[in-house]
Structure 1
Amino acid sequence: MRFTLVSTVFNEAKRLEQTIQDLQAQTLQPSEIIITDAGSTDGTYEMLLAWKARSVVPIVILQKQRCNVAEGRNMAIRAAQYDLIASTDFGCRFHPQWLESLMQPFADPTVKVVGGAFAVVEQDIQTTAAKAAYLLSSGYQVDVHADWFIPSSRSIAYYKEVFTTIGGYCEWLTLAADDLVFGKEIKAHQYKIFIVDKPFVYWGRHTQANGYIKEAFRYGLGDGEARVNQRSVLSTTIEMSMRYLFFISLIVLPVLIAMNILPGYSLFLSVLLLPGLRSYVSYTRNWIRLDYKYGWRVFLYGYILLEQTRRSYIKGYCKGYFKSNDAQKQAAAALQQRLAQ
């Protein structure tokens, strides 16, 4: 089975050699590899050229300064010689059977899209921030068979006809959400996604809190520009507002009661705000499910990271939603019409 592996890259010199080793160890090698570099300045481009010179698999290196991920993906796919495309993100780690697992389902001619699960190697989680994020994400365990699940483009394969029908990835998005939108469009066009539920791709995570906060902002910005996940954002905003009001009420109500401004039973008004603690309850359950292995320091820090990342996501979403340019607003409106059909 002949297929093209595509990816984008920008300043990945620190992790690139490991990515190359993982790809060279695949039990099923691609027929060609096409990579779009967005103008790396850390030696990534030179490392790619060196890999190309020694690789048994033909490699094409494209480069466009400051192109976004969607544009880079589209460039690579349009340059592909083969009709079957496998996509990933450089900087991830790969099990040797990853590409084989993505390609096997295409033995059935009715399969047009295959999505792969991904995971995080827990042994690689070392810092307080990374451990807290691991807890917040429930160990990055996702129900890949749920109706809402959309494969990430770090582990997906499809025929070019799917890409062409959809019109490619959304280049009008600034930083993120291109693969989320691509997945939604796949479903809107009623392509059935075959899911490989065993995770063969391992997502590299940040070591410091700032990385997670910036990531949340990027995700929010992309979702806001695309006008997707509005119910989730509204739910999160309401929950956070109720949570903050709950903590304020625990301070203010006792004072007002002590001053005889409010009757004593008014303190029970705080109970109405308890739904604001939903995320805290879920997070605590994750910690218990993982047998308290990360200790109190990480556990308590997780509450701080939860608030920081949620605020950052909402901030990004609002910026994307309300400050999009006219072209983005028009593209988002057209997207919503397609998804609603």
Structure 2
Amino acid sequence: MIDMQRVMRVSLICTVKNEERTIAKLIRSIAAQSRMPDEIVIVDGGSRDATVQIILQYRERLPIKLLRVPGTNIAQGRNIAIRQANGEIIVSTDAGCVLDKKWLENLVKPIEQGNADVVGGWYIPDSKNWIEECIAIFSYPLLDEVLKRPEEFLPSGRSIAFRKEVWEKVGGYPEKLETAEDTLFDIRIKKAGFKFKFEPKALVYWRPRSSIFSFFKQQFKYSKGNAQAGLYISRYLVLVSIYTLGIFLVVYSVITSNYLLLRSLPLIFLTYTFILGYRRILDASRKCKKCILIFPILRFGFDFSRILGFFYGRFLRLKRK
């Protein structure tokens, strides 16, 4: 059978800032691709470390176009990179990632075959210690759940390919957002009627946050971005309602000296933790048993960070109006 697939020009884009510890690994994984991009457009948002110098070391071996634009956020950086890109297909990834050898090949194939306008790849946690393993088990999406409803999957900016015309028609990444820009970008593309495809073989390895505090800080930022973009509001309101009820029960049990209720509240919270994450707890029991011990801490900090981020994001949204 003759393969009528049209080979299209591909531009790989990436934004960086102070990534001296990770950028070389990313570039080496790009160089090892089974199919090379026609160009690599990197936007540096104002690095103060050796990031730029490391990138420059690879310019003679790879078709790298480096743009230094201090003060830009991720969305602005991606839009700048795409405007400068000459490819018909844009593929995006992030510093801190390592690409599977067939990542780009698998990511662009459905577009070249005419089966998709946008392709989302998959990402696998590259944990280096048990804390990172716990964070990954607790928070990363589960592949089998995505495969059940691939049409609902919103690809991250660390593993996505799309026709450049798609980006043009939806107005690019929303530059007012510091986080959640890729989520809103995906939603706008879907609303515009473009065809999505999920490609689990387009793999990116991505390291989770290395401490519990940095994980909570990350979730605060994500939730702030979601709230600014007006995303998942009902979910956040449900979460706020649950913890409001919990606070009410604590206050009520103290005021009424109902110590039986007060002592039962931790058990209620553990039950809540298990109901929300039983699949992940079972996964932890196989991979890292001590992760189970900190799951309640992760749950409380995760929820509390999201609530704070949500309220701050809504405040910024109202202030902007």
**Category of TM-score, reference length = shorter chain:** 0.7 to 0.9
Q: Which SS does the other structure have where 1:303 is aligned?
A: helix
Could you say which residue in structure 1 is the equivalent of 2:274?
A: 280
Q: 1:277 to 1:147 in 2, by over 3 A?
A: farther
**Aligned residue number for residue 243 of structure 2:** 240
Q: Which residue of 137, 153, 159 maps to 2:157?
A: 153
8 A Cα contact 1:242 1:274, kept in partner: no
Distance 1:104 1:146 in 2: 18
Q: Distance in 2 between matches of 1:138 and 1:112?
A: 26
SS at match of 2:317: coil
Tell whether 2:302 aligns with 1:309. Answer: yes
- Would the aligned equivalents of 1:35 and 1:60 in 2 still touch at CA under 8 Å? yes
Distance 2:77 2:31 in 1: 22
How far apart, CA to CA, are the structure 1 residues paired with 2:42 and 2:276?
A: 40
Q: How many residues align?
A: 310
Identify the residue that residue 311 of structure 2 maps to in structure 1: 318
Change (3 A) 1:139 1:75: closer
Quickly say closer, same or farther: Cα 1:140–1:63, change in 2 above 3 A: farther
> Which consecutive residues of structure 1, in runs of 5 or more, have no partner in the other structure?
259-266, 330-341
Distance 1:133-1:282 versus aligned 2 partners, 3 A rule = same
1:306 is displaced (CA, Å) by 1.8
Residue 143 (structure 2) pairs with residue 136 (structure 1): no
> Alpha-carbon deviation of 1:204?
1.4
| Counterpart residue identity of residue 289, structure 2 | G
More divergent stretch after superposition (151-160 vs 274-283): 274-283
1:58 is the counterpart of 2:67: no
SS at match of 1:220: helix
Q: Which residue of 2 aligns with 1:333?
A: none
Instruction: Give the C-alpha shift of residue 302 in structure 1.
Output: 2.1
Given candidates 215, 220, 223, the residue that maps to 1:217 is 220
Q: 1:257 to 1:111 in 2, by over 3 A?
A: closer
* TM-score, scaled relative to structure 1: 0.82
- Contact (CA 8 Å) 2:122, 2:204: kept in 1 or not? yes
Q: CA deviation at 1:195?
A: 1.1
1:294 corresponds to which of 260, 265, 288: 288
Give runs of aligned pairs for residues 11-160 of structure 1, distance below 5 A. Answer: 11-52=18-59, 54-55=60-61, 57-121=62-126, 124-128=127-131, 130-137=132-139, 141=143, 143-144=146-147, 145-160=149-164
Q: Which runs of 4+ in 1 moved over 6 A?
A: none
Q: CA deviation at 1:42?
A: 1.0
RMSD, aligned CA: 2.7
From 8, 15, 27, the equivalent of 2:15 is 8
Amino acid at match of 1:222: G
Q: 1:257 to 1:210 in 2, by over 3 A?
A: closer
Counterpart position of 1:336: none
Question: Partner of 1:171: helix, strand, or coil?
Answer: coil
Measured against aligned partners, the alpha-carbon deviations of 1:168-212 in whole angstroms (never above 9, x if no partner) come to 001111x20100000000111011101102351112111111210
- Structure 2 residues without counterparts, runs of 5 or longer: 1-6
2:94–2:158 Cα contact (<8 Å) kept: yes
% identity of equivalent residues: 30
- For the structure 1 residues 15 and 147, does the alpha-carbon distance in structure 2 shift closer, same or farther, using more than 3 Å as the test? same
Question: Which of 164, 168, 179 is 2:168 aligned to?
Answer: 164
Closer, same or farther in 2 for the Cα pair 1:200/1:253, shift >3 Å?
A: same
Cα-to-partner distance string for 1:259-300 (whole Å, 9 max, x where unaligned): xxxxxxxx6xx89x959943333334422244354234x322
2:238 aligned partner, one-letter code: S
Q: Which of 195, 207, 210 is the aligned partner of 1:204?
A: 207
Q: Give the number of the structure whose alpha-carbon radius of gyration is greater.
A: 1
SS class of match (1:316): helix
2:197 to 191, 194, 203: 194
Instruction: Write the letter of the residue equivalent to 1:322.
Output: F
Relative to structure 1, the CA distance from residue 197 to residue 6 in structure 2 (aligned partners, 3 Å threshold; closer, same or farther) is: same
